[in-house]
């Protein structure tokens, strides 16, 4: 299989085992989780996930360089396939960012698990141009591509950043497959025809990432249709009633990825 699709626990409710069972029954290949969503010890959670024949990616935040060792050690205790990190802060100077990623790469080598740094608002990789700077400086730095944030931050489909996008696509090892638009990191429903151009743009990037991973012999590709609950998911004014069903939106994202990337 050349594609593994994960379901994030973000937005799921109910007992933890029921969530894992629901993910497995829906046909996902794995779970993407973070310590705050796991209500049992790491070893028990690993056995729970494996018992449903699912793979595991772990994610969390490291705001400061001093956070890296404890955060990565905690995530490594789950023995995940990969670690996805929300890395640093957008206000870092270039020197602060460089020191952060130097430390991150050392800790990644120490724990022996691939660590990818997410393209995310509020983090060091919040724009294509900042990301390019660090990728050019550190040739072993890897990304989780969540380009919905870049579309939002740039307030455009950032085709004018072609060189940065090409480099980011080459260095991506995990995809957060959420479609963003100019005014937000999540369209109300990616299947809606009014967002067809945004979907097509994101899918072109994901296809390029898949090609690079195949050329590097690094398949299967991992993909999480990481659509979020309110307030990521749009709601009606005054009532906060969601305009779409989050479970169905993520399921559509899984099915779409299998049709276009597998």
Does residue 258 register a pLDDT over 90?
yes
Does residue 83 register a pLDDT over 70?
yes
| Count of domains observed in the chain | 1
Could you tell me the sign of the dihedral formed by the alpha carbons of 35, 37, 42, 47, in that order? negative
CB 104 within 8 A of CB 85: yes
Does residue 1 register a pLDDT over 80?
no
**Which neighbouring-strand residues pair with 30?**
6, 55
What is the residue whose two structure tokens read 């010890």? 41
8 three-class SS? strand
Structure tokens at 161: 């950043």
pLDDT tens for 22-34 read 999 999 999 999 9
155 three-class SS? coil
What is the residue whose two structure tokens read 């050019």? 136
Q: How confident is the model at residue 66 (pLDDT cuts 50, 70, 90)?
A: very high
95, with CB counted inside 10 A (0-12, 13-18, 19+), is exposed
CATH code: domain of residue 175: 3.20.20.150
- Is cis: bond before 231, omega within 30 of 0? yes
pLDDT tens for 149-164 read 999 999 999 999 999 9
For the residues 71-98, what does the mean pLDDT come to?
98
Residue 29's domain comprises 3-261
Q: What's this model's pTM, rounded to 2 decimal places?
A: 0.98
For the chain, give the mean pLDDT: 97
pLDDT tens for 196-214 read 999 999 999 999 999 999 9
Does residue 113 register a pLDDT over 70?
yes
For the residues 140-157, what does the mean pLDDT come to?
98
pLDDT tens for 217-257 read 999 999 999 999 999 999 999 999 999 999 999 999 999 99
Q: What angle do CA 100, 106, 108 make, to 5 degrees?
A: 100
CB 201 within 8 A of CB 143: no
- Smallest Cα–Cα separation from 70: which of 82, 80, 85? 85
Give CA–CA dist 130/94, Å, rounded. 9
Q: What is the pLDDT of residue 61?
A: 98
> In the chain, where does DSSP find H-type helix?
16-25, 42-51, 68-76, 94-111, 128-137, 148-154, 162-171, 196-215, 246-261
First-residue to last-residue Cα distance in the chain: 7
- Smallest Cα–Cα separation from 180: which of 188, 191, 172? 188
Give CA–CA dist 187/233, Å, rounded. 8
H or E segment and range at residue 36: none
Q: How confident is the model at residue 18 (pLDDT cuts 50, 70, 90)?
A: very high
Crossing angle between the packed helical segments 196-215 and 162-171, to the nearest 10 degrees: 50
Give CA–CA dist 110/185, Å, rounded. 34
Which residues does 68 contact at the CB level (< 8 Å), separation at least 6?
A: 62, 100, 103, 104, 107
């Amino acid at each position: 299989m050349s594609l593994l699709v994960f379901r994030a626990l973000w937005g799921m409710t109910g007992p933890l085992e029921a969530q894992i069972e629901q993910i497995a029954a829906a046909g996902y290949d794995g779970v993407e989780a973070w310590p705050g969503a796991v209500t049992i010890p790491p070893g028990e959670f690993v056995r729970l996930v494996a018992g449903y024949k699912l793979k595991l990616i772990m994610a969390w935040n490291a705001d400061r360089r001093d956070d890296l060792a404890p955060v990565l050690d905690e995530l490594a205790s789950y023995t995940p396939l990969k670690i996805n990190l929300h890395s640093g802060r957008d206000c870092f100077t270039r020197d602060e960012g460089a020191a952060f990623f130097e430390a991150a790469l050392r800790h990644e080598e120490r724990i022996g698990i691939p660590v990818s740094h997410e393209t995310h608002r509020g983090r060091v990789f919040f724009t294509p141009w900042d990301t390019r700077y660090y990728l050019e400086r550190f040739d072993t730095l890897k990304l989780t591509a969540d380009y919905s944030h870049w579309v939002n931050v740039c307030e455009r489909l950032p085709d004018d950043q072609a060189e940065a996008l090409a480099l980011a696509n080459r260095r991506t090892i995990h995809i957060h497959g959420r479609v963003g638009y100019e005014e937000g990191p999540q369209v109300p429903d990616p299947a809606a025809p009014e967002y067809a151009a945004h979907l097509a743009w994101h899918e072109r990037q994901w296809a390029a990432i898949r090609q690079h991973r195949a050329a590097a012999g690094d398949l299967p590709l991992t993909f999480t249709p990481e659509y979020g609950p309110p307030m990521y998911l749009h709601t009606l004014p005054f009532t906060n009633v969601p305009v779409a069903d989050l479970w169905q939106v993520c399921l559509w994202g899984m099915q779409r990825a299998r049709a276009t990337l597998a």
